[in-house]
Structure 1
Amino acid sequence: MKATARRAWLFADTPKGATANAVLYTLVESAKANDLHIYEYLKYILRAMPDTDFNNHPELLDKYLPWSKELPEECRMNHKHKKCFRK
């Protein structure tokens, strides 16, 4: 983790703010560990998940996890690299 990200924890002045930071950093680091394009992955889950009834059906969250095979191709890092080399 970069030094600036580590310092961001200093500004979580409420328990809810600290929890929000922890969730965000966990998502980002999990996306990195699973070779996902972080921006595309966050964009996807923030757009798709509000329409999901995961409070009543928590098993629906499985398809949004960073290691899910159901993630769209644009979330995968190898997809982005191939696009960079197109002429």
Structure 2
Amino acid sequence: MSLLETAKRHDLNTEKYMTYLLEHLPSEESLVNKNVLEAYLPWAESIQNNCK
């Protein structure tokens, strides 16, 4: 399942979600850390709060 399909299943506004990812991911120092990436998954609390 794609990231966008997962976002839809979590009732996110997919346009807001993609915009959020494109605005915030580039500022992360390292994407190697699993916890950093998990914070951007559709079910993360901060994503739910910002992208509905």
Q: TM-score range by the shorter chain?
A: 0.7 to 0.9
- Bigger helix fraction: 1
Structure of greater Rg: 1
Greater relative contact order (Cα < 8 A, sep 6+): 2
What are structure 2's unaligned runs of at least 5 residues? none
**Aligned AA for 1:54?**
L
Inter-CA distance 69–27: structure 2 relative to 1 (3 Å threshold)? same
> What is the CA distance between 1:28 and its match in structure 2?
1.1
How many corresponding residue pairs? Answer: 51
Which 4+ residue blocks in structure 1 deviate beyond 6 angstroms?
Answer: none
Identity of aligned residues (%): 31
Report the equivalent of 1:35. Answer: 11
Q: When the two structures are superposed, what TM-score results if normalisation uses the length of structure 1?
A: 0.52
